[in-house]
Amino acid sequence: MEARATLPVPSIGAREAPDIAELYERPGPFVTVYLDTNPEVENAAQRSLGHWRNVRRDLETAGAPLTALDAIQALVPDAHHRGTTLAAIADSTGLQLTRTFDNAITRDVGRWASLPQVAPIIEVQQSSPTHIVVLCDRVGADIAVYAANDGDRGTALLQVVVGDAQDPHISKSKPGGWSQPRYQERAENAWEHTAREVVERLTKVCDIVDPRLVLVSGDVRAVQLLQEHLPPRVASVVRLMTGEPVNEVATLVAEDTVALLEKFREERGQGDRAVEGVDATLDALSAARVDTLLVHDDPRDERMCWFGADVPLVAPDPQPLRDQGADQPQMARLADVAIRTAFCTGARVRVVPATAVKERLGAILRF
């Protein structure tokens, strides 16, 4: 059977989240913390520290090393300046990964385990794909790049201004008489030249950051000229902006999830390139057949699974792993094991709603 083509809907793998992939190269165990750092309350720093003290006490009881706990604690007092949730992962050598989110959490999480819990980080990253906002007029355009790997999603990572407001031919004049068409043609030519320049700069930026979405707004004629000159690879991700950028991005993310689940159901109906449920998905992961893992991770879900620390194999119990050459099988939460195995076998991950797949675990297969 031929391998299926790569899915058009983006998911998160080692290429998109190299810092997560690097975690799986470390032996563990890991401390994982998700902490409420709401900045909208009085004495936000003290409140965050109060949340941390409770989490730290439980982690100390569980045996987490002081080096990991002290490294995370150093982040807590100022975390509320960057978002409503602090995510931190550390091991005995110190801090390994941090994120701050605008997404509020329902409860604090503190875990000392063989594997880190990264599903919330993946979910935030998939909900805020790299995107570009272009505001254009007949003088030029402002091009801003946004991504959500860290910090304030409202802050542009890169801003480019294109155009020259001093160009004397940038506006159509109405001098009257025989010269009027010549002036208007000169202005139209200037607008088109500007549009080509904007497209050139936009294309270079797109080639660098590979955006999921380019939102365009501004002067109607300027937008029209820009669209006329876009190369196909850029035009395919361009949308006219009709509302707030955050809402436009949220709509796209929801459409992506719907499209992926439709593809999953289609492959399940054909019966050969999709699986769901724990046993079938673990078998596919161990065989490196998974293209995209579909997972829902409830932090209260304590289902456990065995994995090979030295080989990307998983199973509900350790003996099959030993039979396949895993020297020292380890145990961790099912969702964490599944995500780790996906990353280690070149698959990507999409966090989906709880009811989307049977037993909160499924996959679209490569073959």
Are 226 and 136 contacting, i.e. CB atoms less than 8 angstroms apart? yes
Sequence-ordered list of residues with C-beta below 8 angstroms from that of 34, at least 6 positions apart, any chain: 85, 86, 87, 105, 108, 109, 117, 120, 299
| Residues linked to residue 157 through DSSP beta bridges, in sequence order | none
The domains located in the chain, with CATH, are 29-113 (no CATH), 131-252 (3.30.420.60), 255-365 (3.30.1330.30)
Rounded to 5°, the CA angle 19-23-28 comes to 160
- Sheet containing 85-91, strands listed edge to edge, beginning at the edge strand earlier in sequence: 94-101, 85-91, 30-36, 109-113
Q: What is the pTM of this model?
A: 0.85
Question: How far from 285 is each of 101, 233, 278, 279, CA to CA, in Å?
Answer: 30, 33, 10, 10
Q: What does the pLDDT profile of the chain (367 residues) look like in tens digits?
A: 333 344 456 799 999 999 999 999 999 999 999 999 999 999 999 999 999 999 999 999 999 999 999 999 999 999 999 999 999 999 999 999 999 988 888 899 999 999 999 999 999 999 988 999 999 988 889 999 997 654 444 556 667 777 654 443 334 434 444 444 444 455 556 778 888 999 999 999 999 989 999 999 999 999 999 999 999 999 999 999 998 998 999 999 999 999 999 999 999 988 789 999 999 999 999 999 999 999 999 989 999 999 998 888 999 999 999 988 888 899 999 999 999 999 999 999 999 999 999 999 999 999 9
Show the tokens assigned to 215.
């939102």
**For residue 21, what pLDDT is reported?**
97
**For residue 327, what pLDDT is reported?**
83
Buried (b) or exposed (e) across 299-315, using 16+ Cβ within 10 A? Answer: beeeeebbbbbebbbbb
